[in-house]
Copies of this chain bind each other. A is one copy, B any other.
């Protein structure tokens, strides 16, 4: 693989921030197809789409979520796989999924030119999601792709730094995170708190992170629209976008540089960990679970 020859080989990453329409799956698929085509035309090699791209998010009830769900061999993944094959892309997108057991999941898939490579079921639910979905019970996938090792999680998952560590410890160079960030008030001049979390996750792990959000408003819930691509030092290299509109973020990232966890002459952000200390924590809260 060419990228092994040099740390300076870059990969063009895209976040396709979209406005989606709940109850209009074909329009959503068309919006995603169009964004993927624009990203490919702009030279992207990895395209990240929002959480629940096929369905939207603010369901009235479980029946509506179930009606919007589709299997992994359904039309959305077929669209993405076809586009990945056509343009030699890696695509990570959020899917309202009906799994093989008929359970409804808030999932993200990674597809490439060879087809479906991995699916992640969101393990940490935000808001009332447990009414609509069954949570995943697995570690997030880390997939060896033609451009490097990519980890996948969904939205609130990345607000648990322990969970993020699990992808870094398994070699992820880039973490792709489809998100739907509801817009919360924040002080003037401040970035969304979710963006700050992305920045810190990137920095403490020396891993690239691409989070793709939605724009616009759905059933009265405005989205943050804070899509962002962050480098190993925790600084944005594209975005954060704004909440107002669809947007296509692009950044060229030397993914292989994320294999080097050194920080100056003496430090290594993974090697410096003291898991002997963290493992010893047994708290009343953890015991109670």
- Find A286's partner among B124, B160, B169, B289 (CB 8 Å cutoff): B169
Are B187 and A123 in contact, CB atoms less than 8 angstroms apart? no
Stretch at the interface among A9-17, A35-43, A73-81, A272-280: A272-280
Known: A196-B203, A197-B204, A204-B161. A277 touches B235 (CB 8 A): no
Known: A123-B274, A127-B267, A234-B196. A281 touches B139 (CB 8 A): yes
Are B139 and A280 in contact, CB atoms less than 8 angstroms apart? yes
At the interface, yes or no: A264 with Cβ under 8 Å from chain B?
A: yes
At the interface, yes or no: A114 with Cβ under 8 Å from chain B?
A: no
Q: How far is the CA of A85 from the CA of B276 in the complex (A)?
A: 37
Are B277 and A163 in contact, CB atoms less than 8 angstroms apart? yes
At the interface, yes or no: A6 with Cβ under 8 Å from chain B?
A: no
At the interface, yes or no: A137 with Cβ under 8 Å from chain B?
A: yes
Are B196 and A274 in contact, CB atoms less than 8 angstroms apart? no
Are A126 and B267 in contact, CB atoms less than 8 angstroms apart? yes
Name A's interface SS. loop
A105 to chain B, nearest CB (A): 16
Are A161 and B163 in contact, CB atoms less than 8 angstroms apart? no
Chain A interface bracket (under 10, 10 to 19, 20 to 34, 35 or more): 35 or more
Known: A161-B204, A166-B278, A289-B275. A190 touches B123 (CB 8 A): no
Residues of B within 8 A of A129 (CB): 266
At the interface, yes or no: A227 with Cβ under 8 Å from chain B?
A: no
At the interface, yes or no: A262 with Cβ under 8 Å from chain B?
A: no
A184 to chain B, nearest CB (A): 8
> A237's closest neighbor in chain B, by CB?
B187
Are A169 and B285 in contact, CB atoms less than 8 angstroms apart? yes
Residues of B within 8 A of A139 (CB): 277, 280-281
At the interface, yes or no: A8 with Cβ under 8 Å from chain B?
A: no
At the interface, yes or no: A162 with Cβ under 8 Å from chain B?
A: yes
Are A162 and B160 in contact, CB atoms less than 8 angstroms apart? no
Residues of A245-289 contacting chain B, CB below 8 A: 264-267, 269-270, 272-278, 280-281, 283, 285-286, 289
- Find A165's partner among B162, B166, B264 (CB 8 Å cutoff): B162
Residues of B within 8 A of A201 (CB): 200
Residues of A60-90 contacting chain B, CB below 8 A: none
Q: How far is the CA of A46 from the CA of B204 in the complex (A)?
A: 28
A206 to chain B, nearest CB (A): 11
Q: How far is the CA of A121 from the CA of B159 in the complex (A)?
A: 28
Q: How far is the CA of A234 from the CA of B184 in the complex (A)?
A: 13
Residues of B within 8 A of A190 (CB): 235
Beyond the given A123-B277, A125-B266, A170-B283, please list 8 additional residue pairs across the A-B interface where CB-CB is below 8 A: A129-B266, A139-B280, A139-B281, A162-B162, A162-B165, A165-B278, A166-B278, A193-B233
